[in-house]
Amino acid sequence: MTPIFDPKPRNTETHNESGDEPDMLRGLKSDLRTVKETFQLNEVPKEVLYIGFGGLVPYLGTSLSTLYLAWDINYSQENGIGYLISEETAGHLLHILEPLQVGLGAVILSFLGAVHWGLEMAEYGGKHSYKRYLLSILAPVIAWPTLLLPVNIALIAQFVGFTGMYFADSTATSKGWAPRWYMTYRFLLTFVVGASIVMTLVGRGQIGDRVSKLPGPAAYLQDLRDSQWENLQKEENERKMRVVREKMEEAEAQKERDAADEEENDANEDDKDGKDDKDDKDDEDGDDSSKKENRNDTKKGSGKEQRSEGKSKDKKAKDEKS
């Protein structure tokens, strides 16, 4: 009778398991070795490594600060008071950190393009002329216009820019345009930057509209253009009002001149009528005086005739007496 737990089959099964286990460990170790080789930083110059990650410290700090401030604002909403700072102070700090992170991102992204400019000038991996120069200016072309966008859109655009430059650097490294260690170095930097952007977007999304969004430079430019347009409209309205006022003043002056001319004409007519009346009166006075003279002459003539008749009667009487 065969025993249920036969030692031989058990030993054979144990032997098979012990035979499979080293194969699994060898595969896992191989995978870990591949990952280790992928992220091996021994070949990266220490100066480049320290300065590169040191430059990411303020960028990562802005993201962590934004994440904490968002949590503190939510804590203030729930408890009526902030955990460390007030909600108003947290909002002011957010308005400082957001454009700061966008500006740092633009600088870092531009510097990634400048690396290829320097490699081309040093003719590393051969001379590639316009191809590598165009690659070097692609990063700042993407980076700096983001300063004109709202913060959330600017961070998303920079995330796309960092990812795109990573794939461009990967292609350049595979072609021998950059050192082999540059790809690993770039992957770690891009990972930290991408994680920082995601943290900022998550933190900003947690507070929603509880904190007013800071207007970007585009909004300021729009306000400036609107104010200039308003000033132009105001100047145009003032010019129109001035023209209307000048026309009204000219019309009033013309009206006054017309009134003065009319009064002068009336005065001249009155003077003319007065002169005519005076001439008529003088004519009447002359007629009266001539009539008086005629009457006087008539009276004188009749007196003389009477006196001459009296004299002739006296003479005739004397003659009769004699």
The tokens describing 30, both together, are 């191989």
- What pLDDT score was predicted for residue 200? 92
Per-residue pLDDT band for 16 (boundaries 50, 70, 90) equals very low
Q: Per-residue b/e over 49-67, b at no fewer than 16 CB within 10 Å? A: eeebeeebeebbebbebbb
Q: Is the per-residue pLDDT at 296 higher than 90?
A: no
In this prediction the pTM is: 0.58
* Among the listed residues 111, 140, 123, 139, the one whose alpha carbon sits nearest the alpha carbon of residue 52: 111
pLDDT of the residue at 159? 95
pLDDT at position 8 over 60: no
Segment 251-269 mean pLDDT: 82
Residue 259 clears pLDDT 60, i.e. is over it:
yes
**Which are the contacts of 182, defined by CB distance < 8 A and separation ≥ 6?**
169, 173
How far lies 208's CA from each of 64, 98, 204, in Å?
A: 18, 15, 7
Q: What is the pLDDT of residue 192?
A: 93
- Per-residue confidence at 5, pLDDT binned at 50, 70, 90? very low
Q: Can you tell me the mean pLDDT for 280-294?
A: 63
| Predicted confidence (pLDDT) at residue 10 exceeds the cutoff of 70 | no
CB 129 within 8 A of CB 149: no
Q: What's the one-letter identity of residue 242?
A: R
Q: Within its chain, how far is the Cα of 286 from the centroid?
A: 93
Structure confidence at residue 303 (pLDDT): 60
Side-chain half-sphere exposure of 29, counting CA atoms within 13 A: 6
Reported confidence tier of residue 195, pLDDT bands at 50, 70, 90: very high
pLDDT at 304: 59
Q: What is the pLDDT of residue 74?
A: 85
Q: Confidence band (pLDDT; 50, 70, 90) for 194?
A: very high
Tokens matching residue 3: 């025993």
Q: 179-214 b/e with 16+ CB inside 10 Å = b? A: bebbbbbbebbbebbeebbebbbebbeebeeebeee
What pLDDT was estimated at residue 143?
A: 92
Residue 97 near residue 65, CB atoms below 8 Å: yes
